[in-house]
Amino acid sequence: MGVGPTMGAVAAKASRWLSRRLLPRELRITPGRAPVLSMTYDDVIGSACDTGAALLQTYGGRGTFYVAGSLTGGQEDGKAAHTAGQLHDLCRAGHEIASHGWAHQDYTHLRAEAIRADLDRNSRFLATFTGRTAANFAYPFGRYNLTSQLQCVLRFRSCRVVGGGVYRHHVDLNCLGSLRLYGDELASSAWRRALQQIADGGWLVVNTHAVEEDCGPYGCRPDDLDALLRYARELGCELLPVEDAINAWQRER
């Protein structure tokens, strides 16, 4: 008899639970230093490279761009993805180029060897822009299980998922959460509340995709991103890529 949907969902949940319990990597969030907002972009739509990066730079910040190499020069969800030229521009401007795997596949459906091959291919591709191995990673679609965690946590300083994202005392870098700044989830009360929670010293990680008026269900409008960044700066937040944020907290220990 095949495994039904309910049993499959239970098994997937158990696998995620095990991965969080067996593979933690704790980073202490030290009270008293300036709060940090890390703006992250998944898949890296072209408008994220242009409008998203420019808005961050307007406020003196830099972000993390999780690149899936197979999307370079192509499309994702009907929107133009990043180009090789845009990745070079991001590097020159000081943004972080991080890994999102090569083929933008759900790793919970792959065997370990397929995950390793996908990560290896993307690593080689990203190194042509950065000159080094990507330090941080985001799971495609935010989905992970014990098998994928075992492959990813050995390679990267952090592995980002979706959901959560507010950290005040400590964070598990192997399951780094993120607040969604998405089409129907743009209520300013949510991100204002999240920023207020870290105002006395903490870390907020936010993720989105496209940054344009017709942003779709997984992106945000430029005015909404501008409002978030402006409020973060008013609260004294530093706008740091994930890699720089990790380094900042580690220096405080």
Residue 90 lies in a domain: yes
What residues form DSSP beta bridges with 80? Answer: 75
Residue 73 lies in a domain: yes
pTM above 0.85, yes or no: yes
* Weakest mean pLDDT among 123-137, 200-214, 239-253: 239-253
Write out pLDDT tens, residues 169-226: 999 999 999 999 998 666 788 999 999 999 999 999 999 999 999 999 999 999 999 9
Helix (H) or strand (E) holding 137: strand 136-138
154/225 Cα distance (integer angstroms): 33
Residue 196 lies in a domain: yes
Write out pLDDT tens, residues 70-113: 999 999 989 999 999 999 999 999 999 999 999 999 999 999 99
Q: Give the count of beta carbons closer than 10 Å to the beta carbon of residue 85.
A: 10
How many domains does the structure of the chain reveal?
1
Residue 4 lies in a domain: no
Residue 21 lies in a domain: no
Residue 5 lies in a domain: no
Residue 179 lies in a domain: yes
CATH number, position 149: 3.20.20.370
Residue 89 lies in a domain: yes
Q: Range of 238's domain?
A: 27-251
More confident residue, 121 or 190: 121
Phi and psi dihedrals of 161, rounded to 5?
Answer: -120, -160
Comparing CA positions, the residue from 201, 179, 212, 195 lying closest to residue 248 is: 201
Give me the DSSP letters along 165-191. -EESSEEEGGGB-BEE--GGG--HHHH
Chain-centre distance of CA 211, in angstroms?
Answer: 15
66/90 Cα distance (integer angstroms): 12
45/209 Cα distance (integer angstroms): 6
